[in-house]
Amino acid sequence: MPSKKKGQGGRPRGPRPFWSGTITFGLVSLSVGLFPANRGKAVSLHMVDKDGTRLRRRYFCSKEETLLDGEDLVRGYPLDKNEYVVVEDDELESLAPEKSQEIDLKRFVPVSELDPIRFERAYFLTPEQGAIKAYRLLAKSMEQSERAGIATFVMRGKEYLVAILARDGILRAETLRFFDELRSPEEVGLPAREKAKARDVQRFQAGIKHLMKDRFEEQDLQDRGSRAIIEQAKRKLKSGKDVVRKAPARRGKSRQGPADDLMATIKKSLREGRTPADTPPAAKGKSKRRTGGKKKAARRADKALQDLSKDALYEEAKRLDVEGRSRMNKAQLREAISKAG
Amino acid sequence: MAARAIWKGVIVFDELTVPVKLYSAVADRNVHFRLLHRKDKAPVRQALVNPETDEVVTYAEARRAYRSERGDLVILTPEDLEALEPEKSRDIEVTRFVPPGVIDHRWYDRPYYLGPDEKGGAAYAALAAAMERSGREGLAHWTMRNKEYIGALRLHQGYPMLITLRHSGEVVASDTLEPPGGESLSRKDLDMAGQLIEMLAADFDPSEYQDEYRERVMALIDRKRRGEGPEKVTPIRRKKPSDDLSKALQASLDRGRKHA
């Protein structure tokens, strides 16, 4: 069982579900946890000063020039210049209590009708204790019918459209982009497709044919950028240039990677069902609420985020455990950070 | 309103070229807040701070560092990082065309439409037509704004689209996971669950689902702006997980039939 290691901000460390709640279909309900099925980049860099001291991101009041703590911060919705509607966290949390706790599968649609370009992020579902039989039954029935359950639910202050899919006895959740989150070719303004010349089409068909392969390997997806960084860092480590050695006293604490922890937790949960006690109360149904004021400090900082470089945004996203941050551009990072409640 | 192109490139394979423009296929619909200082309602700014001294370090002075497995830090200078940047190029190089489904959708990340660039209309139309006939999906590599991307080249509603792919290692392999086990499920329960799914079966129509939460957030902001208090929402009681699965299934079917 992953222990609840306390981080600096009082946040429990170690993998816990991204969301936990109930899946219902008909009058059947089962308690589950959601664990991410996507992982971040192979390499992530820290922000340090010239001496190698890890730097922390803090908020300043733009008027007073004072450092602020989590309690000093509040969200504002911009109306005009310097005019905001202040919105408290608990007001947002109380907007959709039922949807924060339940994934209600009201429809089961053919898996083949789900266009993968709607898929945003994937999660594994693990049963809580007592839900294993219902979990297995739902997985098996969905697999046999080749259907996926569809629902909307609220997780961390945002509503998601989600498809629950079953494969080899394991339930997976895929968040889907809402209808209006995916532009149509017309909305983008793409011109009506011209009719192609037959000879041109033949040339392109021949070109495609030359490159036809039946397979592709995960190796084709190597992250060359991260590899280059790791190699350069290793060269410097060897030469000793620009290296800040860790104090010997703190050495040997080399921990298991978070990825290994996550896999171990998912595996165990699938095998035995998670005991609800594994879920800190804060994550139960109210996944938006986090422990510790520091976490809160990171909320809703769109204005502040405007001024940050991409690297700075990335660092911030990392601190907030923003999922998928390695693949985000600047605008996405800004967006994700401001959302990461 | 037509969207603005975010990048221009040239699709290249087998000595063929198609000049294209990239457009984001994803629209941001989130409600954007700003973080304010509670006391004076002034927006906040962010800065890097040395946690020991509370001193601010400017971004120009800050460095990025790689942490080794042992915990040593290797500082990567701006020169180091610059040297590692990929070569600039406009090429979107397609290296292979595979049958649909071979690139599992779990690698898919973000979709971008491709539109024809000036004078590229004929090649663009030919590419789309040829892809339609082959039914294949391309694997492409390109460098956009100093970053390397891998993507799937496919058609969406007849238009070429690039979907960026996650890198190897970024998708948790599910084949290493064991599904929950136990004694075999009863025929009767499986039948009833199958019937329940049939009862709730429908075609997938994405326009049926709205982001109601977003609407509620906007309504809340609107009420507060007019000086009204928040609307009272009565929390719905959480359903108790079903203890007796067969009973719950039977009751669901009975209820469904009554409503039918």
Q: Highest mean pLDDT range out of A47-61, B9-23, B218-232?
A: B9-23
Amino acid identity, position A247: A
- Averaged pLDDT of chain B: 91
Contact B74 A105 (CB under 8 A): no
A277 touches chain B (CB under 8 A): no
* pTM confidence score: 0.82
Assess B71–A contact: CB distance below 8 Å, yes or no: yes
| Contact between chains at A38 and B256 (C-beta distance less than 8 A) | no
Q: How far is A258 from chain B (nearest CA, A)?
A: 13
CA distance A280 to chain B (A): 18
Answer yes or no: is pLDDT of B126 > 90.
yes
Q: Which residues of B touch A96 (CB under 8 A)?
A: 212-213, 216, 233
Q: Could you give the angle at the alpha carbon of B186 between the alpha carbons of B185 and B187, nearest 5°?
A: 120
Q: CA–CA separation, A21 vs A155, rounded Å? A: 10
- Determine the distance from the C-alpha atom of residue B123 to the mean position of all C-alpha atoms in its chain, rounded to a whole number: 30
The pLDDT assigned to A274 comes to: 83
Answer yes or no: do B193 and A170 touch at CB < 8 A: no
Contact A216 B98 (CB under 8 A): yes
| pLDDT tens per residue, range B61-91 | 999 999 988 889 999 999 999 999 999 999 9
Q: In a structure prediction context, what are the per-residue pLDDT tens digits for chain A, which is 341 residues long?
A: 333 333 333 333 447 888 899 999 999 999 999 999 988 888 889 999 988 899 999 999 988 888 898 889 999 999 988 899 999 888 888 888 777 889 999 999 999 999 989 999 999 999 998 899 999 999 999 999 999 999 999 887 789 999 999 999 999 999 999 999 999 999 999 999 889 999 999 999 999 999 999 998 888 899 999 999 999 999 999 998 899 887 665 544 445 566 678 888 899 999 988 876 544 444 333 333 333 333 333 333 343 454 455 666 666 666 566 666 766 766 667 666 665 53
Sequence-distant (6+) residues with CB within 8 A of A65 are: none
What is the complex's ipTM, to 2 decimals?
0.89
Q: A291 in contact with B at a CB cutoff of 8 Å?
A: no
Residue B86, token pair as written in the block = 């990929």
Closest Cα of chain A to B35: distance in Å?
Answer: 4
| A275 interface with B at CB cutoff 8 Å | no
Alpha carbon of B200: minimum distance to chain A alpha carbons (Å): 5
pLDDT at res. B244: 86
Please list every residue in chain A whose beta carbon sits closer than 8 Å to the beta carbon of residue B139: 216, 220
Which 179-218 residues of chain B touch chain A by CB within 8 A?
Answer: 179-182, 185, 189-190, 193-194, 196-204, 206-207, 209-214, 216-217
Q: Which residues in chain B touch residue A225, judged by CB atoms under 8 angstroms apart?
A: 84, 86, 147-148
Inter-axis angle of helices B187-199 and B245-259, to 10 degrees?
30
Residues 141-180 of B with CB under 8 A from A: 145, 147-148, 150, 156-159, 161, 163-172, 174-180
Q: Report the C-alpha gap between B49 and B54 in whole angstroms.
A: 6
| Closest-CA residue of chain A to B222 | A85
Comparing alpha-carbon positions, the chain A residue that sits nearest to B219 is: A95
User: What is the mean predicted confidence (pLDDT) over B131-154?
Assistant: 96
Q: What average pLDDT does the segment B191-209 reach?
A: 96
Q: Which of A327, A328, A339 to mutate: most B Cβ within 10 Å?
A: A327
Contact in structure between A89 and A74 (CB atoms under 8 Å): no
When scoring A86, A88, A200 by the number of chain B Cβ atoms within 10 A, the one with the most, hence best to mutate, is: A200
B7 touches chain A (CB under 8 A): no
Interface of B with A in 115-134 (CB under 8 A): 115-116, 121-131, 133-134
Residue A333 with chain B: CB contacts under 8 Å:
none
Contact A124/B at CB under 8 A: yes
B11 band by pLDDT with thresholds 50, 70 and 90: very high
pLDDT of residue B204: 97
Q: Which residues of A touch B80 (CB under 8 A)?
A: 232, 236
Q: Say if CB A176 and CB A119 are below 8 A apart.
A: yes
Cβ–Cβ below 8 Å for B30 and A339: yes
Instruction: Count how many pairs of residues, chain A against chain B, have C-beta atoms within 8 Å.
Output: 585
Q: How many whole angstroms separate alpha carbon B217 and alpha carbon A289?
A: 17
Sorted by sequence, the CB contacts under 8 Å of residue B22 that are 6+ apart come out as: B5, B6, B7, B8, B9, B112, B113, B114, B144, B162
Q: Best of A101, A152, A159, A195 to disrupt the B interface by mutation (most B CBs within 10 Å)?
A: A159
CB-based contact A53 B50, cutoff 8 Å: yes
* Helix count and strand count (H, E) for chain B: 5, 12
> How many angstroms separate the CA atoms of B78 and B48, rounded?
17
- Of these ranges, A70-79, B124-133, B249-258, the one predicted with the greatest mean pLDDT is B124-133
pLDDT of residue A3: 38
Q: Which residues of B touch A325 (CB under 8 A)?
A: none
pLDDT at A307: 46
